[in-house]
Amino acid sequence: MFLSSIMNNKKARLRAKTSFQQASQHGFTLIEVLIALVIIGLVGMMLAQTSFQSVDQSDYLKRKLIASWVAENRINDLRLLSQQGVKMTLDEGVVEQGSWVFRTLPELKQQTAGVARIEINVFQPPESTSSLFTLIGYLPSSVASSASNSASELSSEGSLP
């Protein structure tokens, strides 16, 4: 009797083992599928968020690059006017580049012996109060002083003799 019960237990274990192997070969359980879907959904959301941030950063860098070009163009215009001896004014300007509109605001910051420091601030969108890009340039002070008299005052740094 003891031997037959051991054999029956072995047969029962063997049947249980084969039925477990057969069950595992049939496919995934509902819980396993749901967990996999949740993981895939979370990974998809993270990828989407990362791609949106990448697009926003790319757009910002494009605007900043174009703003640098606008500032360089403005300082070059002022340099050309100074070389031609034309009276300059440091007025606000609006420039359209690509599909964006930029506002430029040159400011005379400091004037020393023979050289004036001018900052070109570029704003985008034009009604913005903080500049997207700032470029510092230098012009002959004789030309800049005539511009400062007509369009703007010296900054708090003042004028040095």
Task: Kindly report, residue by residue over 71-109, the tens digit of the pLDDT.
Answer: 999 999 888 888 887 777 788 989 988 789 999 999 988
Judge whether residue 36 has pLDDT over 50: yes
Query: For position 89, what pLDDT does the model report?
Result: 78
Query: For position 152, what pLDDT does the model report?
Result: 41
Query: For position 125, what pLDDT does the model report?
Result: 87
The string over 78-114, giving b where at least 16 C-beta atoms fall within 10 Å of a residue's C-beta and e elsewhere, is bbebbeeeeebebeebebeeeebebbbbbbbebbeee
Give pTM, 2 decimals. 0.63
Query: For position 90, what pLDDT does the model report?
Result: 84
| CA trace torsion 79, 85, 89, 90 (10° rounding) | 20
Judge whether residue 160 has pLDDT over 60: no
Q: Hey, where are the domains in the chain?
A: 62-151
pLDDT bin (cut points 50, 70, 90) of residue 156 is: very low
The CATH code that applies to domain 62-151 is 3.30.1300.30
The mean pLDDT of 34-56, rounded to a whole number, is 94
Q: Are 79 and 139 in contact (CB under 8 A)?
A: yes
Query: For position 158, what pLDDT does the model report?
Result: 36
Computed over every residue of the chain, the mean pLDDT equals 79
pLDDT bin (cut points 50, 70, 90) of residue 66 is: very high
Query: For position 28, what pLDDT does the model report?
Result: 82
